[in-house]
Amino acid sequence: MDKQSLVARQAPFKQQYRDDPTSAMITLRADAQLGEGVSCSVSTGRALAEAGLHPAAGGDGTQLCSGDMLLEALVACAGVTMKAVAISLGIELRGGTVRAEGDLDFRGTLAVAKDAPVGFTTIRLGFEVDSDADEEQLAALLKLTERYCVVWQTLRQPPAGSVTLTTTG
């Protein structure tokens, strides 16, 4: 996709959202079905992903770990965002890699130590790109990618949340 195509594709949405800010508020949804043993099947829209325990929490490694899936969502979002920003800035990216690493203390999730945190304590997001862009252009690319990556911003500034439980029987 080139800059003209991206601008043309996004222009009607941008105008609509300027004219009617409430139309920009979209609710995304994800559903999963509880599975056999300690598993959960997630429909990704393209395939079914079966999540289970990480090997460090007793899993056998045959199922996806939700922590890995979170990092995968992050690199996917960051990569798409970087490509869109590069197109908008007129920066050619011939290729590249997006990496996310997250540190976990499994004592928290396994209730081994009450003072151990549950969840990632640190997440590192990094990019390696093949481009002839100069340092100033690359700095702008990185800054805008960080600013507009939905998953990264959600992790950095967590939204309000709630948890509910209902019964079916």
Write the pLDDT tens digit of every residue in 97-136: 999 999 999 999 999 999 999 999 999 999 999 999 999 9
Mean pLDDT in residue range 75-82: 95
Distance, first Cα to last Cα, the chain: 50
- pLDDT tens digits, residue range 27-68? 878 777 877 777 788 888 788 889 999 999 999 989 999 999
Q: What's the mean per-residue pLDDT of the chain?
A: 92
Three-state DSSP at 73 gives helix
pLDDT given for residue 37 in this prediction: 78
Query: What is the model's pLDDT at position 42?
Result: 85
Q: Give the phi and the psi of residue 91 in degrees, each rounded to 5.
A: -100, 125
Q: How far apart are CA 62 and CA 68, in angstroms?
A: 13
Per-residue pLDDT tens over the stretch 3-32: 999 989 999 999 999 999 998 898 878 777
pLDDT at 80: 95
Q: Please tell me whether residue 76 adopts helix, strand or coil conformation.
A: helix
Cβ 53 vs Cβ 46: under 8 Å? no
Comparing CA positions, the residue from 61, 64, 73 lying closest to residue 30 is 73
Q: Is 3.30.70.260 the CATH classification of the domain at 3-156?
A: no
> Phi, psi (5° rounding) for residue 99?
-130, 140
